[in-house]
Each structure stands twice: as C-alpha cells, then as structure tokens.
C-alpha cells in the first residue's frame, strides 16, 4: 500500500497519451545521463524510476548496465517493454519496497510529479533501495510550489531550498549537489530545471 497519495490525474494523462508521449523525439543520451553512468562501475544495477517510454533504459542497456525499468503508467510500461524486449515493472514510486538493491537510481523528470507532502517519504524509499555508496539522480521543474500544467499534470515545482529540506528529511546523504539548467517541457515551454545528485553514505 502506498503511504502517500499519488496524483491519479497525472497517471491518467500518461496512460491516455502513452503512444504520443513515448514516440516523441529525444536526444539519444543526455549529458546528465552520461555523467550519471560514468560514476558507476561497469555492469552496475540501475533502477530507471519513472522510465516512461524506456528511451533512457535503452541507452543504459546498450552500455551494458543491468537495468530495472519501472513506471506507474501501465500504458507507458507496455510501450517501454516492447522497446526494450524485457519486463518493465508497473509500480508507484510510493510503493517502492526494494532494500539495498541498486548501485544507481535514475529518476529523470519523474519525481517532479510526486505531491509535495509525500516527496520526502518517496525519497526515503529511494534511499533505502540504494546500496551503500549508491548514486541517485533526479530532476525537477523549479518553481514556488505545486500546481498543474495546461495538460492537467501535477508538478511539485520546488525551490532549491525546498528540495534540500525534502532530501534532508529523507535521511543522511554523503553528498548533495543541485545544478540549475534550462530545458523544454512536453508542451515546449522553456523552464528552469533543478538536477539533484546525491550519494547514499557507504
């Protein structure tokens, strides 16, 4: 059972739009994904948390990593499974139960949909899923509090200070770095993004 409500409207959007969303053109591998993989040992176990259509999992598998793709949208998971030729776990972030299982967790533009009140608890679940010394990357659209976009999706829109507080509440980290960047959303709107990299203490 989830310990915090997820946003039903957001997951309904991804199920409804699964084909179009998974079919959008993406760069083969973002510079941030390349940096994340460079910090991992060869063949490391990676959780692609909120894998969407599976594009990043595809890159990681091609690089020889042992990838577990996971998404809460059954529609997107089906498409990712067909792309990857392997099972995709259909699960909510709020239900993650793994313990010390992954060398890395990659959450690209996914935890940004977790309702603000539940973010620290989800981050604690991610921390528990990491092996000691494991690395965790996540990206968020910056802002001054939760709200919906024109497509009806919920975003937590945190400030850097709010993110530091939520990660702090989730438990101790060996390192916490936040970098700002500019990116485009699915609606082609230009926004400031916050890219968070942390390490579970060894």
**Which positions lie near ligand SAM, rule CB under 6 A?**
6, 10-11, 14, 50-52, 55-56, 71-73, 76, 92-94, 108-110, 113
Compare residues 90 and 199 and give the one whose CB is closer to ligand SAM. Answer: 90
Q: Please state the closest distance from residue 144 (CB atom) to ligand SAM, in A.
A: 20
Compare residues 94 and 162 and give the one whose CB is closer to ligand SAM. Answer: 94
Residue reference for tokens 């101790």: 172
Compare residues 20 and 174 and give the one whose CB is closer to ligand SAM. Answer: 20
Q: Please state the closest distance from residue 202 (CB atom) to ligand SAM, in A.
A: 27
Q: Please state the closest distance from residue 145 (CB atom) to ligand SAM, in A.
A: 18
**Is 2 strand, coil or helix?**
coil
Q: How is residue 91 written in tokens?
A: 């699960």
Q: Please state the closest distance from residue 29 (CB atom) to ligand SAM, in A.
A: 11
Residue 5 makes CB contacts below 8 A (sequence gap 6+) with: 94, 115, 118
Count CB atoms within 10 A of the CB of residue 191: 16
Compare residues 44 and 88 and give the one whose CB is closer to ligand SAM. Answer: 88
Q: Please state the closest distance from residue 50 (CB atom) to ligand SAM, in A.
A: 3
Instruction: Yes or no: say if 124 and 112 are a contact pair by the CB < 8 Å rule.
Output: no
Q: Please state the closest distance from residue 201 (CB atom) to ligand SAM, in A.
A: 26
Residue reference for tokens 């053109």: 25
3-state SS string for 32-59: HHHHHHHCCCCCCEEEEECCCCCHHHHH
Compare residues 108 and 130 and give the one whose CB is closer to ligand SAM. Answer: 108
Each as own residue / partner, the long-range contacts of residues 59-63 (CB below 8 Å, 24 or more positions apart, any chain) are 59/28, 59/29, 59/33, 60/33, 60/106, 61/86, 63/37
Residue reference for tokens 């990659």: 106
Compare residues 27 and 41 and give the one whose CB is closer to ligand SAM. Answer: 27
């Amino acid at each position: 059972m989830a310990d915090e409500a997820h946003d039903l409207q957001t997951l309904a959007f991804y199920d409804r739009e699964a084909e179009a969303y998974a079919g959008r053109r993406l760069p083969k591998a973002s510079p941030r994904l390349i940096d994340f993989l460079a910090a991992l040992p060869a063949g490391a176990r990676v959780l692609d948390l909120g894998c969407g259509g599976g594009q990043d999992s595809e890159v990681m598998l091609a690089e020889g990593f042992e990838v577990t793709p996971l998404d809460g949208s059954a529609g997107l998971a089906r498409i990712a499974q067909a792309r990857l030729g392997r099972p995709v776990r259909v699960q909510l972030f709020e239900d993650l139960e793994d313990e010390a299982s992954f060398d890395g967790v990659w959450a690209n533009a996914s935890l940004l949909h977790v309702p603000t009140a539940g973010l620290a608890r989800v981050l604690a679940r991610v921390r528990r899923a990491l092996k000691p010394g494991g690395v965790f990357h996540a990206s968020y659209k910056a802002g001054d509090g939760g709200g919906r976009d024109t497509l009806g999706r919920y975003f937590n829109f945190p400030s850097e200070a709010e993110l530091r507080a939520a990660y702090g509440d989730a438990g101790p980290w060996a390192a916490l770095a936040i970098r700002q960047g500019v990116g485009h959303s699915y609606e082609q709107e230009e926004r400031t993004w916050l890219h968070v990299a942390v390490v579970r203490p060894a």
